[in-house]
Amino acid sequence: MLDEIVAKVPEFAGPVELTVIKGGLSHRVVRVDAGGDRFVLRVLDPAVTAAGLGVPMDQEIANTVLAAETGAGPRVLRVLPEQHALVLEYVDGVTLSMADVPSRLDGIAAACRQLHSGRPFGNTFDIFEKLAEFLALCERHGLGLPDGYADQLPLVAEIREALAARPLPLVPCHNDLLAENFIAEGDRVRIVDYQLSGQNDPCFELGDIAAEALLDADGVARLTAAYFGRDHSPELLARVRLYLTMSNVTWTLWFRVHSGLLDGREVDFDYAAESAAKWGRALSDLGDPGLGELLDTVRRQP
């Protein structure tokens, strides 16, 4: 199938060399060297959407095109709708690791602001609605829940209520910014892989970055300041911290669903172990004595 797609792309002229790019946990991503040029071919897997692990494929393609317009995402050189594939600019930079994030917060924040300033995406993403979807999938397929998960759902509902008290305007968000979705070109940072993209609260974007990079309290504060400015309100930092918690709560089930429904594919990654790790971090945050103060802060009128 991959050879058939490559044959349909005029840009892939001359001898072609394909190199699978590791790190993509769902869709297939391939570096294509052809005619002295280098490209990225991203082939979307319908099973990912069917399992509820990404936005609809047509929506991901549309959002990738819009992200490219801002310069935050790679340029889209060709769309192959029948094959659910994209030919993208090869960003010749360094893929970040979790350890790189704390020293790149200014560039990461600038890339997020660039993405968030673009034309609206055609869909919305709400982490609480996504959690409800995953809970339904786990029940439907008999996947079970981590120990103590159901006991924490009333507190999750309280977090949702607090964040909804004074909502921020929605902006085009990536919603899955683990370190490997950032590529650094010198001081500039680019953002790739729009599998979960949609209009969202920018504070979720920051909280998710912090959760994925295991930022400590100081790191979360520095990221928030890099995005909003040093004179940001305490409420904004509280929102970011609450969304950090919700990132871990919800992506616990993303990895559980992936492990239960799509396990056995040729990906060298332990989804079940990652689910357990995220749930451990989520439980720690949910049990933090300071959680009540965060809830009060986001509810407070200015």
pLDDT at 194 over 90: yes
Kindly provide the b/e burial profile for residues 173-199, where b requires at least 16 CB atoms within 10 angstroms of the residue's own CB. Answer: bbbbbbbbbbbbeeeebbbbbbbbbbb
Identify the band that residue 301 occupies on the pLDDT scale cut at 50, 70 and 90.
low
What average pLDDT does range 150-164 have in this prediction? 98
Report the CATH superfamily, name and number, of domain 95-299.
Aminoglycoside phosphotransferase (APH), C-terminal lobe (3.90.1200.10)
Locate the domains of the chain by residue range.
Answer: 2-94, 95-299
| Percent of the chain with pLDDT strictly greater than 90 | 79
pLDDT at 221 over 60: yes
More confident residue, 221 or 268: 221
- Whether CATH 3.30.200.20 fits 2-94: yes
User: Which residue carries 């609605």 as its tokens?
Assistant: 129
pLDDT at 199 over 70: yes
Q: What does DSSP assign to residue 102?
A: G
Quote the pLDDT of residue 126.
Answer: 98
pTM assigned to the model: 0.93
Distance CA(162)–CA(215), nearest Å, equals 23
Say how many CA atoms lie within 13 Å of 26 toward its Cβ.
Answer: 24
Quote the pLDDT of residue 228.
Answer: 97
What average pLDDT does range 159-182 have in this prediction? 97
pLDDT at 28 over 90: no
Distance CA(33)–CA(40), nearest Å, equals 9
pLDDT at 266 over 80: no
Distance CA(16)–CA(86), nearest Å, equals 17
Residue type, 285: D
Mean pLDDT of the residues in the chain? 93
Quote the pLDDT of residue 264.
Answer: 53
| Percent of the chain with pLDDT strictly greater than 70 | 96
Identify the band that residue 23 occupies on the pLDDT scale cut at 50, 70 and 90.
low
Q: Angle 60-253-215 (CA atoms, 0-180°, nearest 5)?
A: 85
Quote the pLDDT of residue 265.
Answer: 52
Identify the band that residue 295 occupies on the pLDDT scale cut at 50, 70 and 90.
very high
Tell me the chain's radius of gyration from C-alpha atoms. Answer: 19
Name which of 269, 21, 51, 24 is nearest 143 in CA terms. 51
More confident residue, 6 or 153: 153
Helices 234-262 & 291-299, crossing angle to 10 degrees? 120
Quote the pLDDT of residue 25.
Answer: 53
pLDDT (tens digit per residue) in 68-81: 999 999 999 999 99
User: Which residue carries 């507190």 as its tokens?
Assistant: 155
Measure the N-to-C terminal CA separation of the chain; round to a whole number of Å.
57
Identify the band that residue 55 occupies on the pLDDT scale cut at 50, 70 and 90.
very high
Name which of 151, 180, 133, 244 is nearest 26 in CA terms. 180
What average pLDDT does range 143-162 have in this prediction? 97
What average pLDDT does range 133-155 have in this prediction? 96
How many C-beta atoms lie closer than 10 Å to residue 274's C-beta? 18
Helices 234-262 & 202-212, crossing angle to 10 degrees? 60
Identify the band that residue 6 occupies on the pLDDT scale cut at 50, 70 and 90.
confident
pLDDT at 302 over 80: no
Quote the pLDDT of residue 26.
Answer: 66
Quote the pLDDT of residue 226.
Answer: 98
Distance CA(88)–CA(70), nearest Å, equals 15
